[in-house]
Structure 1
């Protein structure tokens, strides 16, 4: 009885509404589709958020280990950061549940760190510090009441061209170099898997077509980078494409 009460306290209402808890765990009606969809969506959502804590750490460690950010496009990172920031600000403005967007917060911190490292190892540490100060200043403004909701919505809508351009810039850099440089395969694969799962959770948890479409576009673009990592898998980092 104590275990059942503890489980209920853990799941209700953060993961399941009480009626769904009763259906799935008390009545053992595991084929109750509406409640099952909620449970799967929440589980995926929290798993994505938890996974995002480390999704870009392999990329950060790879850069630090090599003391080089060769092969990474800073412009691509900026556009990716813009897309992540837009999703985070839009979700907060619309009071979406944390499980539907929480990874954006952790991905933002890691992407900012990568952006700084690209500048630092490119010999522009001062520019990297300026980038940090400018970004967090803009972020504070976006999350404040000074920014109209319409601006945040427009930023989220801009996510799609930002994601497409970001990934195409990185893909072009990979193609031009003839390898993927210090790009982390683990990070790329996790981003691809996470964006695929987010299509389902966005539809289920927010019902927002703009959010869902953003993740459809992100999944398609992430598949390009994933495909390049597979294609260039055995190409040494120091090899250059011959003209």
Structure 2
């Protein structure tokens, strides 16, 4: 039984020395190992949550057959930022638990971008968008991508996220409501980015990654604040309905 437990925990959640400290010696106050365990656990929880974090947004768009209130420019910039994180992390061989949610957020954001074009009456443009993005992604993940370019993409995460959220905030302000923006998705993104500040420091030691999530948390907080402020304000296509 002990061997099975060790096989499950080492090296996925704990390095061998921490397995010995926490589970064999029962030294439950060993702070460095507790920090590793907390970071790994949070990372895995964030990745699992990311599988469905934007699903409420997708369902809301499909249910309304409209992406009204969502800024496509904001989606493009968010996709740029997430793609930069994925490519940079793969190139630097960071552990999947430190960035894995970006992969699933990328796929879901891509789907939302297509749906925004499709329900806006531009299906052909949406398909072209998908094809072009997948081609660029293949190049970034291939050995052909210069390391300097990937570092630049990761550095662009912060301005891209800031501009992305400001575009969405401006759209919300101009409309006087948040349209088909899903409250569940926004709050989950805020919680995930806050948790990632700790895990990026603990698992990668990369200050650029940590600062990225600090900025991301502040920007997600802005959109969450607008959701609360405009709560109950009816959108033209959803008047009288409650938000998720």
The whole-number CA distance in structure 2 between the counterparts of 1:28 and 1:229 is 46
Q: What is the CA-CA distance between 1:95 and the residue it aligns to?
A: 0.3
Match of residue 201, structure 1, among 196, 199, 202: 199
Q: Distance in 2 between matches of 1:233 and 1:28?
A: 49
Aligned mates of 1:203, 1:13 — CA distance in 2: 19
State the match for 1:169 in structure 2. 167
**2:210: which partner in 1?**
212
Q: What's the secondary structure of 1:84's corresponding residue?
A: helix
Which residue of structure 2 aligns with residue 75 of structure 1?
73
| Structure 1 vs Structure 2 CA RMSD | 1.0
What is the match of residue 184 of structure 2?
186
Tell me the number of residue pairs that the alignment of Structure 1 and Structure 2 aligns: 238
Q: CA deviation at 1:99?
A: 0.1
Residue segments in structure 2 that go unaligned for 5+ positions in a row? 238-244
The structural deviation recorded for 1:98 is 0.1
- The answer for the alignment partner of 1:54 in structure 2 is 52
After TM superposition, the score normalised by the length of structure 2 is 0.96
Which residue, out of 120, 124, 127, partners 2:125?
Answer: 127
Answering whether residue 104 of structure 2 is matched by residue 106 of structure 1, we say yes
SS in 2 for 1:19: helix
Structure 1 unmatched runs, 5+: none
Looking at structure 2, the residues matched to 17 and 218 of structure 1 have their Cα atoms a distance apart, in angstroms, of 30
Residues 1-21 of structure 1 deviation map (CA, whole Å, 9 limit, x = unaligned): x2x222111110111101101
Q: Which residue of 2 aligns with 1:152?
A: 150
**Offset of 1:28 from its aligned partner?**
1.4
- In 2: Cα distance, 1:130 partner to 1:211 partner: 31
Shift of 1:124: 0.3
Per the alignment, residue 13 of structure 2 pairs with: 15
TM-superposition CA deviations, 1:113-164 (whole Å, max 9, x none): 0000000000000000000000000000001111110100000001110000
C-alpha distance in 1 between matches for 2:35 and 2:123: 48
Distance in 1 between the 2:28 and 2:113 partners?
46
| 4+ residue runs over 3 A deviation | none
Tell me, what secondary structure is at the counterpart of 1:181?
Answer: coil
CA distance in 2, matches of 1:147, 1:21: 38
